[in-house]
Structures are given as C-alpha cells and as structure tokens.
Amino acid sequence: MSFDNAYESLADATEDARWAFGTTGQGVDPLSGVDTTVPAGVEGADLAAYCLMLGDDALIMSHRLQEWSTNLPELEDEVAVANIALDLLGQARLLLTRAGRADGTDRGEDDYAYLRAEPDFRNVRLVEAQRGDFAQLSAVLLVFSTWRLALLDRLADSADPVLAAIAAKGVKEVAYHRDYAARWVVRLGDGTELSAERMGAGLAEVWPLVPELFATHPVERRLAEAGVGVDPATLRAEFDQVVAEVLVAAMLTVPDAPELARVGGRAGRDGVHTEVMGFLLAELQSVARAYPGATW
C-alpha cells in the first residue's frame, strides 16, 4: 500500500498490522506458523527462563538505546542507534514469544514486556545501566555486542531449531552493531585528549558490570548441557580478545575495576537488579499499566 504522506498512513483505520502495545492478539505474532515444540531433554520451564534471559537483555538494551533518540551527536548516529535498538527489539519479540510457547502458558510478548514485575526480569545488569555520555554509550555497546555476538554465534548451533534460527539472524545484525561501537571507541580513544579521557571514563564506568556477563546461572548450565543453550563462561576468551584488539587500536587499556557486588550471590539473571531498573520499567510499562487490556 502507499500513501501520500506519513499522516495518511497513520490514519488508515483498516491497517491492522502495526505493532505496539495493544496491537498483539490481533493476528500479529512474530512466531506465527513456526513449529515451537520444546526439544527433547529440556524442561519447558527452563527453556522459557532461558529465552527470557536473552530476550530481556535485548529488550532492556533496546529501551536504553531508544532513550538516545534525538540526543545523539550526528544524524548518522541517530539513524545507527535507532536501527540497533530496532534490531534488538526484534530479537526480544521473538525470544519473549518463544518463552510463552515453551512454558505452556502461551503468553504473548506484551504479557512479558509490559506486565511482569521487576524481579521477573532476567536481564544482566549491564543493559539497565543509566544513560551517560556518548563515550559511555559506545563502551556499553562495545561490551554488550561483543558478548552477545559471541553468544549468538554459538547459539546458532542450538538443538532448538527456533533458538538456532533467531540466533543465526541475530549474528548478522549484531556484527554490524559491534563494528559501529568499536569504531567509535577507536575514534574517541585515539582522538583528542578530552575524547580519550571521556572514552576511558566510559569504559571504567561499565567495567564493574562485565564479570556478571560470564557468570553461569543454573538454567544456563542445564541448557548448555542439553545442547540447547550456551554457557556464558565459555565466551570470555573471545570477548577478551576482541576487546583487546579494539582497545589497542584506541590507545586505551582495559580498566581495572572491581566487580559490582552481587546481592546475596544473586544478580540480574536471578531477577536482582540495580535501583535504576524500577524507573526504567515504570516508563516502559506506563501505558500498559494505565490502560490494561487496551487495544487499538
């Protein structure tokens, strides 16, 4: 279909395929027609929890990236960061939907994104970190996409064909994200005295959240043993190597920062988040909470 202008397309009342809160349940299902049988040797509840971990990482990172819209230094970066956020939101939609098929509740993506309470979110704490300056954004994106690319690349061989397919697609996307972030880290690190200082500070800000990325949760261990998931501990070597390559080119060093403490041994994968997560969810879920069950 074509319209003369954007307003006309928004006003098209017959269009039922636009996605936002309140439009699912109207035939929009990212896994429509995909066989989502839980593979043998895996508990449905475990598979669902695993999908939520990877899906929540993407959803919350996407939300933080969306906060950058209209605040980035150049138009090209507006377009780049919005695209990265959109790619991750797409991954989140598939993973959250896959969770609903795996745990037998048949909940949809909206139920998970908008109606869960904070302790039910399984994302690592890195992605919820509050927005800093552009150097810190580059640092977060470098760390997140380097880690996620290594993860998705291995997950593409998953015994669950749905996860394998989502991962294979994600690899192509996140490779672009990592290159984008890495080039900015190099440009700022190997730039002026001020840009190098801020890039170093951005990395130092993020580094306490890095060890958590490689801590194996029992669900991750069980799924890795079944050949369905990936044990994050196995990603550390590749991560270190890629980050080292970037930081050498950026004339920066790997920060020496202690790990952000876990709470009674628990962190993001257990639903224990940092203080900012509550504020993030309050915004993310505000429309759904104010108008429960609304459709349009």
Partner 1 sequence: MTAPADARAVAETVTDPELPMLTLADLGVLREVSEQDGRVTVLITPTYTGCPALDVMRADLVRALGSAGYPEVEVRTVLRPAWTTDWISAAGRHKLAAAGIAPPGTVPRRTTGPVPLTLVAPVRRVTCPHCGGTDTELLSEFGATACRALYRCRACREPFEQFKEH
Q: Where on the chain is the footprint of partner 1 (CB under 8 A)?
A: 1-2, 15-19, 27-28, 30-34, 76, 79-80, 83-84, 86-91, 93-94, 149-150, 153, 161-162, 164-166, 168-173, 175-176, 178-180, 182-183, 186, 238, 241-242, 245-246, 249
- Burial class from Cβ neighbours inside 10 Å (0-12, 13-18, 19+) for residue 270 reads middle
CA 15 – CA 35 distance, rounded (Å): 27
Q: Which is closer to partner 1, CB of 98 or CB of 198?
A: 98
Q: Is the dihedral of CA 114, 132, 127, 259 positive or negative?
A: negative
Report in angstroms how near the CB of residue 155 gets to partner 1 at its nearest: 13
Q: What type of residue sits at position 5?
A: N
Minimum distance between the CB of residue 216 and partner 1, rounded to whole angstroms? 20
Closest distance of CB 63 from partner 1, Å: 14
CB of 261 to partner 1, least distance (A): 31
Residues in the chain, total: 296
> 32 or 192, CB closer to partner 1?
32
Rounded to whole angstroms, the Cα distance separating 135 from 255 reads: 14
Report the residue number, 166 or 277, with the smaller CB distance to partner 1. Answer: 166
Torsions phi, psi for 194 (to 5 deg): -65, -45
Supply the minimum distance, in Å, between the C-beta of residue 247 and partner 1.
Answer: 11
- CA angle, residues 28, 30, 31, in degrees to nearest 5: 115
Nearer of residues 201 and 249 to partner 1, judged by Cβ: 249
- Residue number, 125 or 154, with CB nearest to partner 1: 154
Rounded to an integer, what distance in angstroms lies between the CA atom of residue 24 and that of residue 246?
A: 41
